[in-house]
Structure 1
Amino acid sequence: MLQNVRAKGPLQFKSSKVTSILLVASACIFATTTGFDAALMNGINIMPSYTQTLKLTTTTKSLNTAAGFIGSGFVSLWIGPVVNHIGRKRGIMLSIIFKLMGVVFMSAAQNVGMFVLGRVLLGMGTGTSGVAASTRRGIGLSAVYTVWYRESGALISAGVTYRTANIEGEWSWRLPCLLQGLFSFACAAVLAFVPESPRWLAYQGRFNDALEVVASMQSDGDTTEPLTQAQYREMIDTIEWERAEGKQLNYKEMLASRGSRKRVMLAVSVAVIAMMSGNNIVSYYLGDMLTAAGITSTQTKLEINVILNAWCFVCALTGTLLMDRIGRKTMCLLSCMAMATTLFIVGALTKVYGHGHDTSGTYGTIASIFLFQGSYGIGITPLTVLYPPEVLNYSIRSNGMAAWTMAVNISGVIVTFIFPFGLAAISWKLYMINAAWDVLQFVFVLVFWIETKGFTLEEIDRLIDGTKHSNVPDIVDLQNGTAVLEGKGVDSTGAEVDNVQATKEVKTVVTPTVN
């Protein structure tokens, strides 16, 4: 086993409950910013004061919205190696700095150029967090609450823009832009107490600290507890194997083997599905969709925006609770099928009742939009931040997430910049085209995706590479008492300890794991 090296610096909380709460809180607060931003642009795009102040046309309105994806795509080109070098926590702090700079420029914008710069900086923060924060895996509460609070952020933003729309003048849209900075400050405060990634610590030679981080999340700081030892040994064995195989933390490694190429393909496919399913038309241009459906009142549009985000919140929470029961692949398939069906219905109803003269037809169109967004929220929203880090092993995780971020932003630019022109030009036909694309997504997931439910990151290697790179029994077998942890382990000082058989009487439950 790799030699243990004692590192300097204070240790984190020993309590697994406290550590888990902090991990969840940091993910929740940070993800809230993403949800807030999406609903923010949707809300202010509806406001006449925003359009009038910046003298927006269809082109500049699309540019303002797409600029966030441009910034995120730019930073994804180089942020992977940076995060590998400085660590996950410092990477998240860098993203917070970018976000706060973006908030300042957006809130104070006097013209389109200044607003676009703010959106680019905000996007750079989002792109950086996509690489740094998304490498924190949460099989359970961590990813659960990341999803939950992303939708919560959208709901908060929708409520804020609904209320500020009554403010006379420019502050109706400047105030919501300014308020999103509060979440970044809150995240920075919580982040100070969150542990660093144990795998990153191990790669830096800080093996004792890595063990203590695992123990702090697994067994209230007890480094000799069997499940802590098992998870730690799995991690170290896999790192040893990667180094013995000559694997490097660079972009080239993503294409170096068949397994790595499959991992990247799976991660990128999540990005495309998340952005190209049709949901972003609703997320950013709900006002235009409602106009096409026959609704012209700004107040009514903002009210629908609030209710829709509340509905998405419920659906995302429901999907998150089902994710570990039904499975990732099954949930994605169900969502793709439901999205295709409901989007076909939206297109058909828009074609027939888009003139707005039939109240029942208009209500039917709105109901179909709600069903479509619910179909997306119940399956795709939870998977967006959960599945990619699961299928990317450590040697390519940061750079693989950078590729995921790039795919998100290329798709995002296409959606936010091109779709408004398509909606204006071909109206309901755009929904039909997008629905057909959702059918293709269903086929892709059915053929290529793997199920990762219930496996540790190291155990997922067996699903993709055909072998697990450690002789440690699977965690689930240790918990069920069907396997025994044999051999010697180490404690936090590096001294050898005897491993104790893990039986059904072991009370420890695997908590969210930091990657």
Structure 2
Amino acid sequence: MGILGGKKEAELAVGSALAGALPQDAKPWYRTPHLIQLNLILLVPMLSSASLGYDGSMMNGLQTLTQWKTFFGNPEGAILGMMNSIYPLGKVIALFLVTYVSDRWGRRLPIFMGLIACIGFAIMQGLAQNLATFVTARALLGFSTSFLSQPSPVVIAELAYPTQRGKATALYNTFFYFGAIFAAWCTFGTFKIQSTWSWRIPSILQGALPIVQLLGFYFLPESPRYLVSKGRREEARKFIIKYHAGGDENAAIVKFEMDEIEQALEEEAMVLSTTSWFDLIRTPANRKRTFIAVILGWFSQWNGIGVVSYYLTLVLNTIGITDTKDQTLINGLLQIFNWLVATFCGALMVDRIGRRKLFLISTAGMLCSYVAWTGLTSAFVTNRNEGMGRAVVAFIFICYFFYDIAWTPLLQAYPVEIYPYTLRGRGLSFTLITSFTGLIVSNQVNPIAMKAIGWKYYIVFCCLLAVLFVLIYLFFPETKGHTLEEITEVFEGKAGKNADDKLEEGNHKNETKQIELA
């Protein structure tokens, strides 16, 4: 998860103010006991993304299995879309509840609830005796995983060591592919079983990663920002002393972080509600944040990758790769490729290259590779040239390369950064609601469109990617070089109101209200 590095690297990640409060003789994190302990603890919420990644890859794998298709009556079109879209539908419904629970009772409680539920409903899914039970289990699994997907990236951002926060939050979503790899190779390992256990085993194993998380859950601390917001200042300070200062209660970083957190929360208390979703659009800065959240959420599903992530079988069928072994093998190799790229070319580069530049490079690369992919598929359909088909597979990997350097690591990390503490949970939930709504629509539309017009459907995504590039160029700011609290300046400016200005404004509003009441 990165290293402490020298002062220059620290300034690149969090700016000069915090860099001055860091120990000057810092060792790499893997030689610093308290950071080793902290980063091992962060693996618990990191694996939440792996639990989510398992599902899409598993469904891709199941669709290649004759045993699964036969048991459920060869689902296709709208039925197949329902079997996939019911999962994110459950997520959308749960997000409003989990946001309230996370803000009211902390980040740990919803994660614990989600882990228990995911284990139980995975077993229900694997033991399903009919389509209705299978679909119901998937809906309940989707509902349960929101209790993992919403608080996990938030708690990572709020617990991580300051110079590692950007990398740590970006690494969260790369674990999506860890789960995808697990699912892909489980399916590859069971496809030869000539019974329903060829799909039941991967379905039940969807609960395996939550079991691993549950084993380490006891060690996961509560967010210090949540603790301060609830008046539990000493508990928050003890966390920072133990995990950020290595037990040195006089370290400069302790005072710096506590002062920054307390000041930020005091300022937010003057202008933001802890419950109203309308705060997401109440001010110009928040409207910009929320517009970015909409772009991130919707286009994470409508940038063309969704066609492959849930319907790889249909894509491979259009280029003549129909053998079950070949399809499951390609799925397995693709997930390994994705994880490596997302980790080393994406998440670990966010502080060096920057968030905005990564998004622009990613989207431009996807556009170019999607145009090539579309042209090659058209040529293959016309002349059935085997070389063309192989070239299409290559461009699927190339397109994923560009997707993975930004959209995988930053989908949750970017909204977690751009929203202040009071809005962080609701802002991320809004991003996820938009994303899952886009996924529901795409899961219904994609298989129908693929069946009706085949490769010509790819042209739609070429156009959408061009629009997306323009939106990113116009509206996405750079956030590297700032602490979590300092990112507010990116949207509201240093010339914006300070805490005293906001306090005075709040007092003026109260006086006006009292006069009106009188």
> Is TM more than 0.5 here?
yes
1:466 to 490, 493, 517: 493
Give the equivalent residue in structure 2 for 1:161. Answer: 187
| Whole-angstrom distance in 2 between the partners of 1:355 and 1:99 | 46
Q: Give the match for residue 206 of structure 2.
A: 180
Report the equivalent of 2:137.
118
The yes-or-no answer on 1:347 pairing with 2:406 is no
1:247-281 deviation line (CA, Å, top 9, x unaligned): 33331222222222222222232222322111111
1:390 equivalent among 405, 417, 424: 417
Whether the aligned pair in 2 keeps the contact of 1:54 and 1:112 (CA below 8 Å) is yes
> Counterpart in 1 of 2:197?
171
What's 2:72 paired with? 54
- Cα gap change, 1:86/1:404 in structure 2, threshold over 3 Å: closer, same or farther? same
Provide the residue aligned with 2:24 in structure 1: none
Q: Kindly tell me: are residues 470 and 135 of structure 1, through their superposed partners in 2, closer, same or farther at Cα, counting changes over 3 Å?
A: farther
Go from structure 1 to structure 2 and tell me whether the alpha carbon gap of 1:211 and 1:218 turns closer, same or farther (over 3 Å shift): same
Deviation by residue 1:363-401 (Cα, 9 ceiling, x = unmatched): 111111111111111221011121110011111111112
Q: Please give the alpha-carbon distance, in whole angstroms, between the structure 1 residues aligned to 2:272 and 2:420.
A: 14
- Structure 1 residues without counterparts, runs of 5 or longer: 1-13, 472-515
Cα distance in 1, alignment partners of residues 120 and 438 from structure 2: 25
CA distance in 1, matches of 2:498, 2:236: 17
Structure-2 residue corresponding to 1:256: 282
Using the size of structure 1 for normalisation, the TM-score is 0.85
- Residue of 250, 256, 261 corresponding to 1:230: 256
- CA–CA separation in structure 1 for the residues paired with 2:86 and 2:482: 38
Q: Is the 8 A contact 1:237 1:470 kept in 2?
A: no
* Structure 1 counterpart of 2:177, one-letter code: E
Cα distance in 1 between the residues matched to 2:385 and 2:252: 66
Q: What is the match of residue 41 of structure 1?
A: 59
Deviations 1:180-207 (A, max 9, x none): 2111011122121011011111111101
User: In structure 2, what is the Cα distance between the partners aligned to 1:418 and 1:223?
Assistant: 57
Residues 1:88 and 1:98: Cα distance change in structure 2 (over 3 Å):
same
SS in 2 for 1:143: helix
- Residue correspondences, number: 458
State the partner residue of 1:295. Answer: 321
Q: Which has the higher helix share?
A: 2
Equivalent residue in structure 2 for 1:452, among 479, 482, 493: 479
Aligned to 1:192, the other structure's residue is in SS state helix
Alignment-derived partner of residue 116 in structure 2? 97
- Paired residue for 2:87? 68
CA RMSD in angstroms comes to: 1.9
Equivalent residue for 2:339?
313
Cα pair 2:272 2:422 within 8 Å, conserved = no
* Cα deviations by residue, 1:118-171 (Å, 9 ceiling, x for unpaired): 111111122222221121215244224423322122112111111111111111
Amino acid at match of 2:456: K
What CA distance in whole angstroms lies between the structure 1 residues aligned with 2:291 and 2:249? Answer: 36
> Secondary structure of the equivalent of 1:215?
helix
Give CA-to-partner distance per residue, 1:284-320, whole Å, 9 cap, x none: 1101000011111111111111111121122112211
* Offset of residue 102 of structure 1: 2.4
SS at match of 2:487: helix
Q: Distance in 2 between matches of 1:43 and 1:350?
A: 22
The one of 297, 302, 306 aligned to 1:276: 302
User: Partner letter of residue 258 of structure 1?
Assistant: P
Q: Given the alignment of the two structures, is residue 435 of structure 1 paired with residue 471 of structure 2, yes or no?
A: no
Q: Which residue does 1:84 correspond to in 2?
A: 103
Identity of aligned residues (%): 26
Match of 2:43 among 4, 25, 32: 25
Q: Against the structure 1 CA distance between its residues 144 and 449, is the aligned structure 2 distance closer, same or farther, given a 3 Å change threshold?
A: closer
Are the structure 2 counterparts of residues 321 and 356 from structure 1 closer, same or farther at C-alpha, using a change threshold of 3 Å? Answer: farther
Of 214-223 and 73-82, deviating more is: 214-223
Asked if the contact 2:184–2:331 (Cα under 8 Å) also holds between the matched residues in 1, the reply is yes
2:173 and 2:313 map into 1 onto residues whose CA distance is 24
Retained in 2: the 8 A contact 1:199–1:235?
yes
Q: Deviations over 1:36-94 (max 9, x none)?
A: 11211111111121111122232221111111110001112332112111210001112
SS of equivalent residue, structure 2 residue 457: helix
Please, what TM-score do these two structures have when normalized by structure 2?
Answer: 0.85
Pairwise CA distance, 1:15 = 5.7
